[in-house]
Amino acid sequence: MTGAQGAADGEALPVGGAMRVMGAETEYGIHAPSAPSANATMMSARVVQAYAQVTRQRAAGGAETRWDYTDEEPLHDARGWTVDRGAAHPTQLTDQPPVLDAEAVALAYGREELELDGQDESGTLLMNMVLGNGARLYVDHAHPEYSSPEVTNPRDAVAWDAAGDLVGLAAVRRLAADPTLPPVNLYKNNTDNKSVSYGSHENYLMPRSVPFGDIVRGLTPFFVSRQVVCGAGRLGIGQDSSAPGFQISQRADFFEAEVGLETTIRRPIINTRDEPHATADKYRRLHVIIGDANLSQVSNYLKFGTTALVLSLIEAGLAPKIEVYEPVAALKTVSHDTSLTAKLRLLDGRRVTALDLQWIYHEAAAKLAQDTGVGDTVDGDGHTHEVLERWASVLTQLDSDRAAAATSVEWLAKLSLLDGYRQRDGLEWNDARLGLVDLQWADIRPEKGLYYRLLSRNRMQRVVDDSAIAAAVAHPPADTRAFFRGKCISSFGKDVVGASWDSVIFDVPGYGRLQRVPTREPLRGTKALTGALFERYREAAPFLGELLGHNSTPPAA
C-alpha cells in the first residue's frame, strides 16, 4: 500500500477499492438550429450567462466569479518536465483567463464569422461561474463545459455529473424563452461526426509516490478495453465518419498516441498533464481524456468505479502484468467490433478479447478488495462491493444476454435503437435518419433526447434517483473541499470575487485587501469540518474572521 489520501490530517478514504477523490468534466456540443453560423464561443458564453440569470448569482455578486489561475500548470508533464510556453499549442495555455473580446474571437475563428454573428456584445459576456454545488461552469474554447465538484465515490460522480446536464438544461430553457436570442441545443456527446471531437475528462487523485510508469503500464490495457462497458456508441467509422457503420466509442478514432501532454491534438491514451490542484508533493491528479461522455448512469458509474479500482491495483503494485501490442490500433479494433469477438495480441503472445481483458482486471480488483476488506458487503467501504457486482454482471450480459446489457451499456442501447430503425424501415448505415438518431440520443432535453425517452420507459437502468440529481444541482458533496467552495458561493456569493479548485477569494468590506483562502487538501473543507461555521454566520466578515483566526471584527482598512 502506498498510503491513504489525506492521511496527515486524519481524513482518509478506505484504500484498495473504488473510493477516491474524483470528478468529471463535460464539454457539451452546442448548436443553434435556427442560426447555424452563430459563433460557438459566444453561444457558449450565453449558456453561462443564462445559468447565471437562472440562479441570480450574477445579480448578487455584481460580476462573474473569476477563476483563480494562480495554481494552474497545464504545461507540467507528469514525466518530470515542463513544456516551453512558446512550443505549446495555444489551446494548451489553459492557465490564462479567456478574454472574449471581438479581437480574440476574430483571431480564433475568423473575422467573417464574427460579423455573421452580428451583435457586438462580446464585452459583456460571462465566461466563468463557480456554482453553489461546487462545480465550475465556463466557456472552454468553443464549448460550454461543466466541471463537477470533487466527490469521493462513483455513485456521487454519477449524481454530480448528471447535475451538470440539469444545469445545461436550465440554461437551454432560459435561452429558449428569450425571444431576442436563437434557441440553443446542448448535446452530451464527443464528436460532430465530421472530424471534430471534444472531450469529457475524468480526474482521479493519487498519491504522488506512485511512479508514473506504473500508471501507464497498468492503465493502458484497461483503457483499451473499458469502452465495451462505458462507450457511448457512434455512427460512422473514422474521424470524419467516412466509412459507414457503427462503433462502440465516440472517442477511439481520435486517439493517435500512447502517452502525451496534449488534449486537443495527437490525443494520447494516457494524458500526462500534471496539475494536482492540491498539495503538489503529496498528490497527483490523473487527468483521463479517453472516456466518452455518458448519459447512461450504469456506464458512467462503471467508468468511474472500475477506473478507481484499477488505480487502487496500481497503487498496491498489483495491476495485471499484461501489455497490449500496439495499443492505439487495438483501441480502434475494440471500438469497431460490436460483436466483441476480436482478439488483441498481447506482448506475451496470448490473444484475448476486450471482455477477457476486463475480466482479468475484475479478478485482480476483486482479490484486492477481499484482501483489504473494502469489498465486504457489511464491513466494506460501501461502494466497492457494488462496483464489482455491477461490473461482473455487465460483463456477463455482454457475453451472453445482450438484450439485458442494452438496459445499462450505453453503446448497446443506442445500437439497439438504430437496429430497430434499420429493421423497420430498411435503412442503410449511412442514412441521415440514423445520423439524427445518433445525434439526438445526446440532446439533454428530456422531451427530445432519445436516451431520456428510453429512460422514461424504464428501458435504461438508474443508479441514482432523480431527487438525488436534483439535489446535486443545488448542493455540494458533503465530504470534500467542494462543500466549502459551494457553500461560500451560496452563502456569501456577493463577497466572493474568485475561486478555483484549491482556493476561494473574498473581497469583504472592511478588509483592506482580498482574502484568499487556500483549499489544497481535497478531503478538508468538508461539512463535518466547516458545516457548523457556515451555520453560525450570515455575513462574510465574521465568518472569515473565525476561519482565518482573526478577531471577529475585520481589521481596520
Partner 1 sequence: MAGQEQQQPQSRDSQVDEDIPEAPPAPPEAQASASTEGVDDLLDEIDGVLESNAEEFVRAFVQKGGQ
Residues of span 289-308 touching partner 1 by CB under 8 A: 289
Q: Which of 2, 393, 396, 440 binds partner 1 (CB under 8 A)?
A: 440
Identify the active-site residue in 140, 161, 438, 502: 140
Least Å distance, CB 186 to partner 1, is 12
Considering the complex, state which of residue 68 and residue 495 has its C-beta at the smaller distance from partner 1.
495
Using CB under 8 A, which residues numbered 502 to 541 contact partner 1? none
**Which region, left, alpha or beta, applies to residue 465 given φ > 0 means left and ψ of -120 to 50 means alpha?**
beta
The yes-or-no answer on residue 140 being catalytic is: yes
Considering the complex, state which of residue 5 and residue 299 has its C-beta at the smaller distance from partner 1.
299
Give the 3-state secondary structure of residue 495: helix
Q: Judged by CB under 8 A, how many residues of this single chain contact partner 1?
A: 84
Least Å distance, CB 166 to partner 1, is 5
Least Å distance, CB 247 to partner 1, is 17
345 strand-pairing partners: 351
Q: Which of 257, 337, 421, 518 binds partner 1 (CB under 8 A)?
A: 421
Using CB under 8 A as the criterion, what x/- string covers residues 490-509 for binding partner 1? Answer: xx-xx---------------
With b for 16 or more beta-carbon neighbours within 10 A and e for fewer, the 520-552 pattern comes to: bbbbbbbbebbeeebeebeebbbbbbebeeeee
Q: Which three cell numbers stand for residue 256?
A: 493517435
> For residues 13 and 33, what is the distance between their CA atoms, to the nearest angstrom?
46
120 phi, psi to nearest 5 deg: -95, 80
Distances from the Cα of 253 to the Cα of 89, 236, 339, 356, angstroms: 21, 10, 18, 22
Considering the complex, state which of residue 355 and residue 469 has its C-beta at the smaller distance from partner 1.
469
Residue 324 binding partner 1, by CB under 8 A? no
Q: Which stretch binds partner 1 (CB under 8 A): 6-14, 216-224, 379-387, 473-481?
A: 473-481
Considering the complex, state which of residue 361 and residue 492 has its C-beta at the smaller distance from partner 1.
492
> For residues 502 and 522, what is the distance between their CA atoms, to the nearest angstrom?
8
Q: Which stretch binds partner 1 (CB under 8 A): 14-22, 308-316, 323-331, 446-454?
A: 446-454
Q: Which stretch binds partner 1 (CB under 8 A): 36-44, 334-342, 375-383, 544-552?
A: 36-44
Q: Which stretch binds partner 1 (CB under 8 A): 49-57, 214-222, 350-358, 368-376?
A: 49-57
Considering the complex, state which of residue 354 and residue 517 has its C-beta at the smaller distance from partner 1.
517
Q: Which stretch binds partner 1 (CB under 8 A): 13-21, 332-340, 486-494, 540-548?
A: 486-494
SS (H, E, C) 404-425: HHCCCCHHHHHHHHHHHHHHHH
Using CB under 8 A, which residues numbered 188 to 247 contact partner 1? 191-194, 196-199, 201
Using CB under 8 A as the criterion, what x/- string covers residues 400-419 for binding partner 1? Answer: ---x---x--------xx--
Using CB under 8 A, which residues numbered 265 to 294 contact partner 1? 289
Using CB under 8 A, which residues numbered 97 to 116 contact partner 1? 109
Q: Which stretch binds partner 1 (CB under 8 A): 152-160, 484-492, 497-505, 523-531?
A: 484-492
Q: Which three cell numbers stand for residue 553?
A: 471584527
In DSSP notation, 231-283 reads ---EEEESTT--EEEEES-SSGGGEEEEEES-SSSSEEEEE-B---SS-TTTE
**Residue linked to cell 444541482:** 473
> How many of the other CB atoms lie within 10 Å of CB of 503?
18
SS (H, E, C) 3-17: CCCCHHHCCCCCCCC
Q: Which of 177, 436, 528, 548 binds partner 1 (CB under 8 A)?
A: 436
Contacts of 554 (CB under 8 A, 6+ apart): 508, 509, 510, 511, 541, 544, 545
Number of H helices, E strands in the chain: 19, 20
Least Å distance, CB 184 to partner 1, is 12
3-state helix, strand, coil in the chain (%, to 5): 40, 15, 40
Least Å distance, CB 549 to partner 1, is 25
> For residues 419 and 430, what is the distance between their CA atoms, to the nearest angstrom?
13
Using CB under 8 A, which residues numbered 127 to 166 contact partner 1? 131-133, 140-143, 166
In this structure, are residues 413 and 422 in contact, taking their beta carbons and an 8 Å threshold? no
> For residues 520 and 187, what is the distance between their CA atoms, to the nearest angstrom?
33
Q: Which of 79, 85, 173, 351 binds partner 1 (CB under 8 A)?
A: 173
Q: Which of 469, 499, 517, 540 binds partner 1 (CB under 8 A)?
A: 469
Q: List active site positions.
A: 140
